[in-house]
Amino acid sequence: METLPDDAVLDELLAVAVAVARACGRLITDERPRHLGVDHTKTSSTDVVTVMDARSEALARAELARRRPGDGIVGEEGTDAPSDSGIWWLVDPIDGTANYLYDMGYYAVSVAAVVGDPHVARAWYPVAGAVYEPVGDTMYSARRGGGSVVETAGDRTPLAVGTRTDLARCLVGTGFGYAAASRAKQGRVVAEVLPRVRDIRRMGVAALDICHVARGRLDCYYEAGVNAWDIAAAWVVLEEAGGVLRGVGGRRPAPSLTFGGQGPALDALEDLVVGLARRFEPGAAEPDLR
Ligand code: IPD
């Protein structure tokens, strides 16, 4: 188990996460080119990167290096700077790039400070983070032991997860990977989840899905294929709001499957999704929906 930084360091990490997420959020909104195109693709032809993803990550990298020299930085668009301090930053410079590409005003910047090795699934743990939604000027932030807040245009409100216990009455957020074969499996699973819950939301921004669970606007969340930078900041926000982000069987979240929520509704969602996922690999020790 990793050691937590002390309170003064946690406060500093939180302040840095908030400042950097805000700066990147302003950049991608204020300087979004009128005719934005795809710069290149990554894991599949639908996994796009725009010039603004790269600019946002470059700004985050420069700001983090200036404010916290010695910390490591790992970013979605390729940044990988080593850590001397034991603290690493995980940066998603635009979470919801497809929404951003299509000029839908629903996307975010996610910046988290973590301890442990963020290159290895389950070997790291977030200690402070900020998820900034620039359209609407909404900042979700938290650090371990400090509670989590949402701040919109100067109005700060503590976050608390919802209390619904019956999965059948839960509004459930989810998302899909970019690879066609993964999507085919994930589509078959969601088709069986849908009749067993209030409804499904697929809004395209994993970090915000998890923050909405923290805010009680979604009851639960599940997804396969999420990366560390998608979930790191929102993970602290959710847990400081009284919820849980976890992988299968109470282990830490992992790309195989990640669940967020609280109480019996979360347990029921995990049981349901894991049972459905096992149909694809009946003998696997841990189901993997990617
Ligand atoms: C994606 C979004 C989406 C989720 C995908 C992520 P990106 O992040 O968070 O909601 O379903 O798994 O990859 O690619 O826009 O940074």
Distance CA(232)–CA(19), nearest Å, equals: 17
Query: pLDDT (tens digit, 9 = 90+) per residue, 85-114?
Result: 999 999 999 999 999 999 999 999 999 999
Q: What is the pTM of this model?
A: 0.97
- Per DSSP, 138 falls in state E
> What's the CA dihedral at 21, 25, 26, 28 to 10 degrees?
140
**Measured CA distances, 116 to 30, 73, 171, 226 (Å):** 35, 13, 33, 18
262 touches 166 (CB < 8 A): no
Q: In 3D, which of 221, 243, 258, 264 has the Cα closest to residue 161?
A: 243
Residues 73-89: b if buried by 16+ CB within 10 A, e if exposed: bbbbbebeeebeeebbb
53 CA closest ligand 1 atom index: 16
Amino acid identity for residue 38 in this structure: V
Q: In 3D, which of 216, 228, 203 has the Cα closest to residue 88?
A: 228
In the reported structure, the alpha carbon of residue 152 is separated from the centroid of ligand 1 by a whole-number distance in angstroms of: 23
In the reported structure, the alpha carbon of residue 96 is separated from the centroid of ligand 1 by a whole-number distance in angstroms of: 5
Q: Dig out the tokens for 283 from the structure.
A: 């003998």
Ligand 1 binding residues, C-beta < 6 A: 76, 92, 95-97, 175-177, 204-206, 223, 225-226, 230
Amino acid identity for residue 130 in this structure: A
Q: What is the pLDDT of residue 43?
A: 83
Q: 206 by DSSP, 3-state: which? A: helix
Distance CA(129)–CA(148), nearest Å, equals: 10
**Ligand 1 pocket: which of 230, 231, 258 to mutate (most atoms <8 Å of CB)?**
230
Query: pLDDT (tens digit, 9 = 90+) per residue, 187-227?
Result: 999 999 999 999 999 999 999 999 999 999 999 999 999 99
270 touches 256 (CB < 8 A): no
Q: What is the pLDDT of residue 253?
A: 97
Distance CA(45)–CA(178), nearest Å, equals: 8
* pLDDT higher at 245 or 49: 245
114, containing H or E segment: strand 108-116
**Ligand 1 pocket: which of 205, 210, 211, 213 to mutate (most atoms <8 Å of CB)?**
205
Distance CA(114)–CA(234), nearest Å, equals: 12
Q: In 3D, which of 242, 16, 211, 255 has the Cα closest to residue 119?
A: 255
In the reported structure, the alpha carbon of residue 286 is separated from the centroid of ligand 1 by a whole-number distance in angstroms of: 23
